[in-house]
Amino acid sequence: MCRCTTASAPVQLVKQGLFPCSPVYPALAISLEMLEFAATLFIHLAPNEATWCDALTMFLSKRGHVFDAKDLFRRRFGTALHQYQVLIRVVNAEMDKQIGIAHQEVLS
C-alpha cells in the first residue's frame, strides 16, 4: 500500500483485489477471490465458518502467519465475509434495478 493521503487504506486494498476486515482501520485484508470461494462453498456445504477458519488458521500458521488471539482470524474473516456478501447483494440489487429501468425505457 502507498502512504499517500489521496486514498484510504480500504480503497487501496480493494484496488489491489483485497477486501478489508474493517472499513476504517483494517488490520487484515482478504483476497476477493477467497471471499467469493468461501461464499460459494458455504452455499453448497453446511455453513461452518468456525471450523473452516480454524483449518485455515492452522494452514497459515504452518507458513509463518500466526495470529495473536485465538479467534482473531475467525472474527476478522467473518466480518469481511459478511460485509462482502452484503456488498454483493447491494450491487446485484442495483444492477437489477438499472436493467429494469433500461428495459422500461426500451419498451416505451
What are the average pLDDT values for consecutive 10-residue runs of the chain, which has 108 residues? 72 91 86 88 76 84 83 85 92 94 87
Q: Give one DSSP letter per residue of 33-61, joined into a string.
A: HHHHHHHHHHHHS---HHHHHHHHHHHHH
- What distance in Å separates the CA atoms of residue 96 and residue 79, rounded to the nearest whole number? 26
Determine, yes or no, domain membership for 72: yes
At 13, list the grid cell: 486494498
**CA-CA distance, 2 to 43, in Å (whole number)?**
36
Check residue 53 and give its pLDDT.
85
Q: What is the pLDDT of residue 87?
A: 92
Which pLDDT does position 96 carry in this prediction? 94
DSSP state of 2: -
Flag whether 42 is in a domain: yes
Write out the residue range of the structural domain in which residue 75 sits: 32-107
Strand segments, DSSP code E, in the chain are: 18-20, 29-31
74 belongs to a structural domain: yes
pTM: 0.68
Q: Please indicate, yes or no, if residue 23 is contained in any of the structural domains.
A: no
Cell, residue 74 = 475467525
Q: What pLDDT, on a 0 to 100 scale, did the predictor assign at position 4?
A: 61
Q: What is the per-residue pLDDT for 94?
A: 96
